[in-house]
A = this chain, B = another copy of it.
Amino acid sequence: MDLVNLTAVKNRLIESGLKATHQRIVLLKAMYLFDGHPSAENIFEAVSGDNPALSLSTVYRVLEDFEKAGLINKVATRKGIQRFDSNTNPHNHIYCTNTHDIYDFYDEELNELISDFFKKRSIRNFRITDIKLQVNGEKLNPDQKVLINNNHK
């Protein structure tokens, strides 16, 4: 199934309790198509060519609405700027201090490790909604990809 198919996007909006307005459809598509962890401004730039009447304040409001509806998440950043993530599956983040790029990484073993840990250690007076491992550091060669390696076969 195609995430950015028109009716699929409409349905996602409606399932989440949001009216399928033109702007929301455009913006949710843009979130799915964006490769990375865009800011509101990034998304605005991505769509405003085709949608010249779209307002930046609408982008902010709609992304906020999407987040409240659980369609996307906010990503924590150290730079003090809001960024968003359309990937709502459990995964982790690698942060490059130099470029401020954020890379996703999945690792089933790691997810289990962490979830097992929190079976033993609960947090009193707190309801956990999401756990992310945040790996900070720096990309070495700017021309090469950052890749997680499996050395243990």
> Across the interface, which residues of B come within 8 angstroms of A122, CB to CB?
148-149, 151
- CB pair B149 A123 closer than 8 Å: yes
Give Cα A11–Cα B129 distance, bound, in whole angstroms: 42
Residue-wise, chain A 12-45 has the 8 Å CB interface mask toward B (1 for contact) of 0000000000000000000000000000000000
Q: How many residues of A contact B (CB 8 A)?
A: 51
Residues facing B in A127-142 (CB within 8 A) are 127-141
Copies per complex of this chain: 2
Q: Are A138 and B129 in contact (CB under 8 A)?
A: yes
Report yes or no: A117 in contact with B110, Cβ–Cβ below 8 A: yes
Q: Establish whether residues B140 and A135, one from each chain, have CB atoms under 8 Å apart when the complex forms.
A: no
Q: Are B135 and A94 in contact (CB under 8 A)?
A: no
Docked pose: A128 CA to B150 CA in angstroms: 16
Q: Quick check: B137 and A128 within 8 Å, CB to CB?
A: yes
